[in-house]
Structure 1
């Protein structure tokens, strides 16, 4: 069965309207499976989107005959519409075979949206295109091997650090190892750690996300025909290895079309660079075209954002607002993070038509909760605001990876389902034995070898586990859930698992409950596991409550918000040491932090509310005088009530 089964398209999905079954292409690459993504945070705006009528700048980009094109698309300038129209132009006007077109997106959610819009424009032809993230496309190009998600990879790297006697932070070590494996500089200790980590991966017959890219880069021979026309979205955030993949895939292609915005380059810690467009121009002649008309934000919002970003190299930007004047941007100072969270909760209730908040600001027509988003620099900041919203009964959905995914009981449960869906996944079986059953490593290795041999001989997983002498509870779980997997949603499966005696102890229940609230966004366990393995921040979501409510406030980090838009945005946590980050990274890091602020501000369509706990961010000094400044009036709870937060 193997990993191919885990990443195949389920039968129910193959039969969904508008989705064709995966089909082999001439190059042997399978047409990409549709990924069941969480509901689109800006789905309301998408549903009301008018037919795309390109302006002059967009039309030039859509119809360019240049072999290599870079489109510099500022926020809200119709980047996705231009990308869709460019692909349609290749098919309708240039006669391109849809199977010869590959579009690379930054998230699985963006890939699903792009495929949906192309299907509406081109019908069944869209199903023949290759559309996905770098990691998803590389996975389809390579032979199947177990894929470690971020939490499993971190655990494996942690064991390598321990074996080396290191006491370094795993996150920092992961950044160093990724840099070294990608061909970057590293100390002798970092190179040794990278080698040990790769050896540990090889011993498990597994890959991590970096390995997907590197192995695809090492594939021999010319790129397959699906890359005849290559389009790359969010190009400003590709890292060095992804840049090399673009170079490899576009070698000999008929067209390369990249689109993005250097002012929205916010992944320097992953090796991305705002200079990527100029570096692309150094490879070969490049036709560079701008998109400068902003259709998303009011002039007040765009003006405030431009006043900030002009302090980065390049000076004043040329973006222009197409919309009529709107409400002024508000900057609200608070005494601290708790005051900020309470004020945001009360203000959201007021905007939604509640009467809890008495303020001099006139109450507008009531807005649905789904119109509103709260963005922060870090997940820790979001956690405080989530507590305040939940305390006031405001439904919310949190985007991004959750620390609960690193919990041992959670990892053990997910490993069981990964093993049942892909029995050749040795890493999943190892996690079942060590995390769930507490089998010592040496004995686990022997059991694993026995089970894998029995599976290779054709035994079913439950029988192979029992015959190899694995703990009876593991064999029993395998038998029970093998029968349930095809029929039940992932949340229900995980609830059944947690109800089994001894599987999830009290110490792990909170983490498990958070993962249940992530699983509610997926219809099948393979969808959920695929999102965990390949998903970016925006692809993973958690409902703040047992059931998902479509009318919910969206909570996400600034990184997760990239590419999204909302009528009302609260940009919170604008505190010294948070944005910009307290970590000293020099001028380049300061510029990236300013770009992150710019990204957050330009998510807003109608209203932008900035909140700043003391001491405020120095970036606020760059805002124009037209921004309305005020001090939050918040009554803090007494000591007994504080325990509720």
Structure 2
């Protein structure tokens, strides 16, 4: 690799960051300034010029996607790289997992090497079970997950009283004991236990056990206290720190990150601060508008020309907007713009539903960024539990759920399944005590039940057994006799079998790529799937696929598109209603992130009659903050033609036969079952009754009730629209297809 050429391609600010060798350096990388390029170049500089082995670097990211991108870009420049060399490259949690599995003595704390990583929802299930069994008094159990997150720090600091004076701290103590007994770690536990053991290494003067030369941190602005502590322990062990991030992109304070993170890091590590001020992504007009929402001071310079001005559109409601977007995108496609260069951003995931429906009807190719994992597929969710118990017999709850699964299990009662699991595990342990150390257990009989198969898995697939199993999923599939549980006569059999087969293939490939034995590879894969949610169906947005991308503002972080549409810029959506200044500041930073994803074209829109509850009609104050000279032609209103509304009405009424309209659009039809909706005449507008029509014909103004505006009087009505006057609200106009009016 020619590093001198690599260095020559960087600007002066980027070069200064790459060549800096201070013990701690924090780089304020402005949006679109080449942050990842600098990070990759830093790694290559240390390895190529300073001869630091990759094994002596710890590169920390906040998403698996970012870690994967770094590995891929390094591999493109260094073709001889192996997975072993990059074990310290990953998310905070995955690196902590690597340390606990391969470096730190977790067994001294009572854990066994084959521990399981569980997701937050599973920890809540375990907590609820403890509450029930021990009759603990816990307030607000419906918010238990959030309470465990919010008050855990107080518990770890030794506080004696909870915020609400209940048994939550007793629960946390018992939860910790139960996780240890079941040999389980939560995501937070991975970092907490790693920090404890790293701190002990320092205290006992055993730095030689683990002493990285460099820590390199991506998106450092997202760090919370436990992650900063993790970095600090690595620094104390002798590592130099290089971190990049953007204080204007702190959008996860609800997860523990802080808006003053750069000041905190500089003070804590005595770090030098450098900056990357040149934006290479957005046009001058887009960048000028985005600067209105930049909260942290510092230079932000655009490298591109001014380009097109922004556009602001006014829509009646979300359906009208979706129809408009479909037509706009169709025009872009016909002009040669690739669909993958077009994105629609929104604040809440629920806003994608109407876009999906309209885009499907208009044959617009699209993908929705929703993280769907193997846990979202019933057969894989079941099979994961089978494998988890098979690889960790202390994880009895997984075994019970696998055995008592309503669709794929073989025992109907969870209580009976628990008794069977406990009985077989106890019997196996007793047999193990009676056997001599040199005598191994026999593999499970050919037709034993699922419990025996799970309990015999580790012995049957011992490292010295069935060498070819590592390349053939059939060994595992046949061992469990999975056809007995997938049922060849079931309608879903072929699909379920393909899911399971693909999962096994991925697990085997993973083990091979990691250079691990069969069991160890399976265990690590299961823990990785808990951390990241392995994408079996590729439901996350595939940026290379030629389709329009639909995603929340949060999901847009780190991406870029030539054409960006940000919808629903109404108060109550963008920004959301907030209860404090800190959250309001984060909403503003989030809007800044969304705007700066756009390279060439940015359009913002709002509703005059929003469908969502607590969303104010009219443009958000954010739109009023943008200088009018940056906006093309002022605010343009997009109106429906009457023929479009008639088509809309028919489409909505057709959908109502399948499910309530409130579920489709958040509008009319609320409270009615699908059967009730289906029983209404197809040609009657929603919100209009026979009595109401008769009253209009005889000159009477009917009274109506609306969920938001209260009781009002109809003032005018035609085939598609109805207008009503409400006390304290004045006149409101409704499309009949979406009307929530109840005639009195």
Range with greater deviation from structure 2 (387-396 or 447-456): 447-456
Count of residues in Structure 1 that have an aligned counterpart in Structure 2: 563
| RMSD across aligned positions (CA) | 4.3
SS of 2:243's partner is strand
Give the equivalent residue in structure 2 for 1:250. 235
Which runs of no fewer than 5 residues in structure 2 stay unpaired?
1-5, 102-113, 433-439, 462-468, 511-524, 611-616, 656-663, 665-744
How far apart, in 2, do the equivalents of 1:74 and 1:105 lie? 17
How far apart, in 1, do the equivalents of 2:562 and 2:317 lie? 26
**How far off its partner does 1:332 sit?**
2.1
Alignment partner of 1:376 is 2:376: no
Deviations 1:306-346 (A, max 9, x none): 1122xx3x45x421110122222222222222333333233
Alignment partner of 1:581 is 2:576: yes
Give the equivalent residue in structure 2 for 1:133. 91
- Indicate conservation of the 8 Å contact 1:293/1:319, yes or no: yes
**How far off its partner does 1:206 sit?**
1.4
**How far off its partner does 1:138 sit?**
0.9
SS of 1:393's partner is coil
- Indicate conservation of the 8 Å contact 1:538/1:560, yes or no: no
Give the equivalent residue in structure 2 for 1:500. 487
Change (3 A) 1:296 1:549: closer
Range with greater deviation from structure 2 (393-402 or 84-93): 393-402
Alignment partner of 1:534 is 2:531: yes
- Indicate conservation of the 8 Å contact 1:485/1:525, yes or no: no
SS of 2:555's partner is helix
Q: How does 1:207-606 map to 2 (within 5 A)?
A: 207-219=185-197, 220-222=200-202, 225=210, 227-309=212-294, 312=295, 314=296, 317-353=298-334, 365-402=335-372, 405=375, 411-419=381-389, 425-436=395-406, 437=409, 439-452=412-425, 454=428, 458=441, 466=449, 486=473, 500=487, 524=506, 532-535=529-532, 541-542=538-539, 550-584=545-579, 586-606=580-600
How far apart, in 1, do the equivalents of 2:420 and 2:286 lie? 61
- Indicate conservation of the 8 Å contact 2:444/2:453, yes or no: no
How far apart, in 1, do the equivalents of 2:340 and 2:483 lie? 31
SS of 2:180's partner is helix
SS of 1:124's partner is coil
How far apart, in 1, do the equivalents of 2:42 and 2:552 lie? 31
Alignment partner of 1:623 is 2:604: no
Deviations 1:147-177 (A, max 9, x none): 1134433443454566646442355335325
Give the equivalent residue in structure 1 for 2:70. 114
Greater Rg by CA: 2
- Indicate conservation of the 8 Å contact 1:416/1:429, yes or no: yes
Give the equivalent residue in structure 2 for 1:173. 147
**How far off its partner does 1:469 sit?**
7.1
Change (3 A) 1:557 1:204: farther
**How far off its partner does 1:196 sit?**
4.3
How far apart, in 1, do the equivalents of 2:299 and 2:249 lie? 15
- Indicate conservation of the 8 Å contact 1:345/1:394, yes or no: yes
Deviations 1:113-137 (A, max 9, x none): 1112122334435752321001111
**How far off its partner does 1:551 sit?**
1.5
Alignment partner of 1:640 is 2:650: yes
Alignment partner of 1:612 is 2:606: yes
Change (3 A) 1:221 1:301: same
How far apart, in 1, do the equivalents of 2:72 and 2:153 lie? 35
**How far off its partner does 1:74 sit?**
1.0
Range with greater deviation from structure 2 (217-226 or 160-169): 160-169
Give the equivalent residue in structure 2 for 1:75. 31
Which runs of no fewer than 5 residues in structure 1 stay unpaired?
1-49, 354-364, 507-511
Change (3 A) 1:367 1:350: same
SS of 1:373's partner is strand
- Indicate conservation of the 8 Å contact 1:405/1:411, yes or no: yes
Deviations 1:529-578 (A, max 9, x none): 6664122899995179xx99922222222222221222222222323222
Give the equivalent residue in structure 2 for 1:206. 184
**How far off its partner does 1:55 sit?**
0.7
Give the equivalent residue in structure 1 for 2:173. 195
Change (3 A) 1:258 1:470: closer
**How far off its partner does 1:259 sit?**
0.6
- Indicate conservation of the 8 Å contact 1:447/1:470, yes or no: no
SS of 2:306's partner is coil
How far apart, in 1, do the equivalents of 2:11 and 2:319 lie? 46
**How far off its partner does 1:412 sit?**
2.8
SS of 2:569's partner is coil
How far apart, in 2, do the equivalents of 1:403 and 1:94 lie? 41
How far apart, in 2, do the equivalents of 1:323 and 1:536 lie? 38
Change (3 A) 1:502 1:521: closer
Range with greater deviation from structure 2 (435-444 or 137-146): 435-444
How far apart, in 2, do the equivalents of 1:617 and 1:519 lie? 50
- Indicate conservation of the 8 Å contact 2:373/2:535, yes or no: no
Change (3 A) 1:169 1:404: farther
Q: How does 1:90-169 map to 2 (within 5 A)?
A: 90-125=46-81, 127=83, 128-129=85-86, 130-143=88-101, 144-159=114-129, 164=136, 166-169=140-143
Change (3 A) 1:348 1:529: farther
**How far off its partner does 1:608 sit?**
1.8
**How far off its partner does 1:405 sit?**
4.6
Deviations 1:88-108 (A, max 9, x none): 111122221221111111111
**How far off its partner does 1:375 sit?**
2.2
SS of 2:416's partner is helix
Deviations 1:193-247 (A, max 9, x none): 4334434433432111111111111113146546221001000001111111011
Give TM-score scaled by structure 1 length: 0.75
- Indicate conservation of the 8 Å contact 1:400/1:541, yes or no: no
